[in-house]
Amino acid sequence: MDAEKSIAAGLEGIVAGRSSICEVDEERSELYYYGYSIAELAEKSTFEEVAYLLLYGKLPAKAELTSFCEKLEQEMEVPDEVYDVIKLLPRRTDPMDALKIAIGVLHTVDPDSASNENDANIRKSMRLIARIPAIIANHYRYAHSESTVKPKPGLSIAANFLYMLRGSEPGGFESNVLDKSLILYAEHEFNASTFAARVIASTLSDLHSAVIAAIAALKGPLHGGANERVMEMLLEIGSTENVEPWISNALSNKTRIMGFGHRVYKKADPRSPVIKGLAKELSKKGGDDKWYEMSEKIEKIMNDEKGLHANLDFYSSSAYYLLKMPVSIYTPVFVASRVTGWVAHIMEQYNDNRLIRPRSEYIGPERKAFVPINDR
């Protein structure tokens, strides 16, 4: 390979393809799904409506959305074969590993598994969007010796997830907070998991396999899990009074403070103000300001001392904690949202496919003659 060619470590700054799904404007700190701003979608839309947008490339008419939601509701029931396999797993199984296995089983029982036609992939995508929340909730329940809970007709995806996780129906505002967070996490261009999914799709492997690859990528701590580690940090700090000395000590020891900065956004994450506002309102309604106050104080210190801004994961952590969601399933909940973006990208890749096959620059030993084993 030509030594003059520059190498971009981690493909940073490299445009690896074209997509009509999502626009990340890093200079203006703005995010759009099919041309609609994330702030407006979070304020005026629902997760189901955004899922439709990502699958079909347009906002639905009222009748279309009603039909779409009815179909999702019909697909929420998880096949028994999936739970049969989950029950064979050790109870300590990582929830992300359980998800990969469950989606592999879903592929084997999906009536469209053998087809890569667009209509079949739409149906497979809807089944995944509908069933992943139930799998997450009921795997958690199984791992904690609780019986599985079936989805409840008439509830949204967000409300049903909280219902299955808790075994009791959540309040409307709680469901709304989770719904909005799912919108915020739904799509984000060529991130590591989405790119992994597109690489698999480019080989013309099936949609479920591409989603499993995306989950495997998201399991890595450099991509997913930041909101879990933010909450672990908040729990360790313990109180507003401890924030300043804890953060000061962490910065002195060059410990990374999770939930700040972003690989793409150089100024601010446009999703952060939305989730911050929801976390603040949730804390007030629940009468528990502690986690929000701690978070706000950490954010100010990081802004003042490091010039770093909170990303989506930072305030999501305390919001999820106030929703009584176990910290161990924060990243799987990311999957329940981001699967909408993954399947959109997978289908886009299929529709204009070229095998993704980059090159590498060789830096190994010089060429040499082979020496027979008896002469070495």
Q: Which of 206, 208, 313, 345 is catalytic?
A: 313
Residue 223 designated active-site: no
Structure token digits, residue 308:
């770093």
Among 259, 238, 240, 237, residue whose Cα is nearest residue 249? 237
Residue 110 designated active-site: no
Q: CA–CA distance from 304 to each of 80, 265, 297, 311 (Å)? A: 53, 18, 11, 16
Structure token digits, residue 104:
């592999």
Structure token digits, residue 135:
């799998």
Concatenated DSSP letters of 222-279: TTS-HHHHHHHHHHHH-SHHHHHHHHHHHHHTT---TTB--SS-SS--TTHHHHHHHH
Contact 211, 217 (CB under 8 A): no
- 257's CB contacts (< 8 A; 6+ apart) are 233, 247, 250, 251, 298, 302, 308
Q: CA–CA distance from 313 to each of 93, 223, 274, 330 (Å)? A: 24, 11, 12, 10
3-state secondary structure of 6: coil
Report the chain's C-alpha Rg in angstroms: 22
Q: CA–CA distance from 44 to each of 66, 172, 177, 180 (Å)? A: 16, 16, 13, 10
Q: Which of 262, 269, 309, 345 is catalytic?
A: 262
Q: Which residues have a catalytic role annotated?
A: 262, 313
